[in-house]
Chains A and B, each alone.
Chain A
Amino acid sequence: MTAHLESQASEVIPARGVLDQDWRKLSRYGALLALGLVFVSLIGMPVKLDSRVVVEPYVSMGYLSLLWLPALLGYTVSAEKVLEGMASHARGAHELVAGAVVGLIGGAGLALLIWGLDTRDLSDPLVNWGDNLLGLLTFNETVGYGMLVWLGISAGLGLLGGLLHVLPRTAMRAGLTALIAVFLVSALESALDDISEGFRLEWLFEWLFEARGGLTPKGAVAVAVVAAGYVVFGRNRAKAVRQRYDAMPTVERTRANAALLVLTGVAIVVLPMFLGKLTNELLANVGLFLLLALGLNIVVGLAGILDLGYVAFFAVGGYTTAILTSPNSPGISPELPWLLALIVVIGMATLAGLFIGAPVIRMRGDYLAIVTLGFGEIIRLTVRSDWASGLTGGAQGITGIPGADILGVADVRGIDPQAVFYLVAFFCAIAIYVSWRLERSRLGRAWMAVREDESVAEAMGINTVNAKLMAFVVGAILASFSGAIFAAKVGSVFESSFKILVSIVILVVVIVGGMGRIAGVIAGAVVLIGVLGGPNQPGLLAEFSEFKLLIYGALLVWMMLKRPEGLIPNVRRSRELHQEEFLQDAWLRGQTDDDEEHNTTQGGATA
């Protein structure tokens, strides 16, 4: 949609001289890099991740956590936005030098840290200050050696970052893709192990990976070559398919969509059979959070109600199921089958939605967000309180939840993650269908109007209180489904599983993925929960779990700055966030109308 922004500058002026640099900018970026490197070192990332090897025996994740920074900043220091019609300099040695200087300054920062590590002891406030870090940073050699090497590495990587501006587009893409592919394949090692076993591809896995972990050098090269090869040869073909799809008439496209949907459905049913326990467990967790995120997406994305206490409904679902199905439930213990309990869960979620919603919904914007935040905690604290512990078990929680017996066909419990995944996938499908249908209905339009301008929506005859309550209740029911499955999967519920962090993580999934768009929410759940992991659930990068919140936060800040509409954005939302650019594009296509265009006079007055 921002076609004109990507097009090439119309005029290229000769490259700047090598020493004709913006030295202030360079030192700013250099200082930033130095800070970044020291920060990453001191939070313990290099040491903690050193055991996870990317390419045996050369690079570990620990070193990688430092290495990407100089390259990134070396690149961004000379990145500039070129608009159509603007003159831009030719790229050349100027960019290389800029990158290298930034890298050098950053490396100096790290060298200073090494010197400090050697001479002082600040391990009191900085727990990671110590010999482990020093040893890692000096490669177990002398301090001077380490300082020099880091200066060199950092400057070299900064230079490489600058080089990206100079290389031809395809070469740059191929190189970057190859690097990312090597990283990803290595990061997904445990999952690939699992998958390769299912497909009887152990020989490939053993060829690619070292037994102790990490890619073998030849494996890394193979992965890089395949990835680069895809960029050079396959990318255009993929693009052509995409273009053909875009050019399809509506009927044909509907058919293509249906075919894709069926294929995805088949894949979801068939694939888990080949996957091991570990991957299925991971998929089940992604599904649980996806279900929550889809529900929250209706509340936040469609109706525009910023609900920060969404975990309350997850808790309602979990606890209702636990009380009704577990024989260990301290209060009433009817030991209902799971499906029967689910009916009560729906009722309880509706009640909770109305109960929390009714007072909250009359507020707007920030006030509403804060009050929902409060209610989220109130529910959890109530569950934990002495007053309710006769029913909910207080801090001891409820254990011994028997699992979900689905009409005798399947018995879904935690030890069988594949069955859990199927159950979750079924409910996710329901949630997707519900969101999809409601968005295109009278109620969905009312939500949209409320999101745009609540007082006008009310003046246009929409009962905004009802519409918002409806969104709240639908969201509550979907969250309670997730809670019910969660209880059956884990076999026990504790109030600590329903902390505020869960609400935040779900919200981050929705925001990072793309608020208001189902595909976006799915992408967000896969990326965040699948790769990084949920609040208490490990993801593919299990080693990162200690830094999960840091990465979540950094990702969120970066998204808000660079791509506030999310990974796969909703059309309306990105239009709203990029109003200027959108109008410019519409103007370029001749689709805006300026006051008094020639056809105005032949309009309705004469009709």
Chain B
Amino acid sequence: MSGERLLTIDSLSVTFGGLNALNNLNFHVDEGEIVSVIGPNGAGKTTFFNMISGMVTPTAGDIVFRGESLLGYDPNQVTARGIARTFQNVRLFANMTILENVMVAQHCRTKQGIFGALFNTPGFRREEEDIREHAEKVLGFFGTRLIGYRLHQPASVLSYANRRRLEIARAMATKPTIILLDEPVAGMNPKESEELTGLIGKLRSEWGFTIVMIEHDMNVVRDVSDRVVVLDHGETIAQGSFEEVSTDPEVIEAYLGRPVEGAS
């Protein structure tokens, strides 16, 4: 299943004031993998994503993507290199239409500037056409929900589940190698999350994306992950297949707490 090593994270730490949000974290993703990152609230999962996507600078350690260190890159440079993300608290461009949300995400894959726009050059028109085509293709991945008359509606009219879908579409539109999904099924009902689980599998099989996903819904984690990494207090406490991790005593302790001494 897995190919070459894509992303290697080497003893990564970050401190906010006196708090160690991440502590000496090691992590890697191979091409074509689906890796889930789980852990209790406050374990540092979103900080971990923010660090990969360049929104937070680590205090120590290194992030290497395809042999190149990502440290010191701005978020847009990281995205341009092929790592896209979604946000835990859906952050769409609410007043832009659904189509525009996805079109704008192709910014770093296109290059027409002021000149082309002003003189409506053939190159400009061709590129606009391509952007639009790709946008509709990406939106079509989610069935009929985000296309048709919806294309020209503002993102703010969408239901919660559809906003999550649009966020994924927006990440797909940046033509990434790795997609970081931050709680993709949060707030969805069981049927919707089951459907999205299938789609996450297709993101790999049909589109060839490698996926790193933060998720609290263990059904989803079990169904799609090749590998599960458990974080607690900014450290990796376990990793392996879902079965291995779910029976690990340290993981159970992190989620459920330690039994009281001598209470057995």
Residues of A in contact with B (beta carbons under 8 Å apart) = 433-434, 437-438, 440-446, 448-449, 452-453, 455-464, 470, 474, 572-573, 575-576, 579, 582-583, 586, 591-597, 599-607
Give 23 pairs: A residue, B residue, CB < 8 Å, sorted on A. Answer: A438-B118, A441-B128, A442-B107, A442-B131, A443-B114, A448-B96, A459-B75, A459-B79, A460-B170, A462-B108, A575-B154, A586-B153, A591-B149, A593-B159, A594-B159, A596-B161, A596-B189, A600-B191, A601-B195, A603-B144, A604-B144, A605-B195, A607-B143
Are B107 and A461 in contact, CB atoms less than 8 angstroms apart? yes
Chain B 74-115: CB-based contact to A (< 8 A → 1; otherwise 0) = 111001100011010001011110001001110111101110
Smallest distance from the beta carbon of A363 to chain B beta carbons, Å?
Answer: 16
Chain A residues with CB below 8 A from B192, complex form: 595-596, 600
Are A604 and B143 in contact, CB atoms less than 8 angstroms apart? yes
Are B74 and A458 in contact, CB atoms less than 8 angstroms apart? yes
**CA gap between A583 and B107 in the complex, in Å:** 29
Number of A-B contacts (CB under 8 A): 159
Which B residues, 123 to 143, have Cβ-Cβ distances below 8 Å to chain A? 124, 127-128, 131, 141-143
**CA gap between A388 and B170 in the complex, in Å:** 51
Are A449 and B96 in contact, CB atoms less than 8 angstroms apart? yes
Are B117 and A442 in contact, CB atoms less than 8 angstroms apart? yes
> At the interface, yes or no: B199 with Cβ under 8 Å from chain A?
yes
Are B100 and A461 in contact, CB atoms less than 8 angstroms apart? no
Are B114 and A438 in contact, CB atoms less than 8 angstroms apart? yes
Smallest distance from the beta carbon of B107 to chain A beta carbons, Å?
Answer: 5
Chain B residues with CB below 8 A from A596, complex form: 161, 189, 191-192
Chain B residues with CB below 8 A from A460, complex form: 76, 79, 84, 104-105, 107, 170, 174
Residues of B in contact with A (beta carbons under 8 Å apart) = 53, 55, 74-76, 79-80, 84-85, 87, 91, 93-96, 100, 103-105, 107-110, 112-114, 116-118, 120, 124, 127-128, 131, 141-145, 149, 153-154, 156-162, 170, 174, 188-189, 191-192, 194-195, 198-199
Are A586 and B157 in contact, CB atoms less than 8 angstroms apart? yes
Smallest distance from the beta carbon of A258 to chain B beta carbons, Å?
Answer: 16
Are B117 and A441 in contact, CB atoms less than 8 angstroms apart? yes
Chain B residues with CB below 8 A from A463, complex form: 74, 76, 108
Chain B residues with CB below 8 A from A442, complex form: 107, 110, 112-113, 117, 127-128, 131
Chain B residues with CB below 8 A from A462, complex form: 76, 104, 107-108
Q: Which one, B91, B110, B118, B128, contacts A456 given CB within 8 A? A: B91
Given A453-B93, A603-B144, CB of A445 within 8 Å of CB of B191: no
Chain B residues with CB below 8 A from A452, complex form: 93-96
Smallest distance from the beta carbon of B187 to chain A beta carbons, Å?
Answer: 8
**Other than the known A455-B55, A605-B199, what 8 A-B pairs have Cβ atoms closer than 8 Å?**
A443-B117, A449-B93, A452-B94, A456-B91, A463-B108, A592-B158, A603-B195, A607-B143
**CA gap between A606 and B141 in the complex, in Å:** 11
Are A458 and B75 in contact, CB atoms less than 8 angstroms apart? yes
Chain A residues with CB below 8 A from B120, complex form: 437
Chain A residues with CB below 8 A from B55, complex form: 455, 459
Minimum CB distance partner of A474 in chain B: B114
Q: Which one, A437, A443, A446, A456, contacts B87 given CB within 8 A? A: A456
Given A453-B93, A596-B161, CB of A464 within 8 Å of CB of B76: yes
Are B76 and A448 in contact, CB atoms less than 8 angstroms apart? no
Chain A residues with CB below 8 A from B100, complex form: 445, 448
Smallest distance from the beta carbon of B96 to chain A beta carbons, Å?
Answer: 6
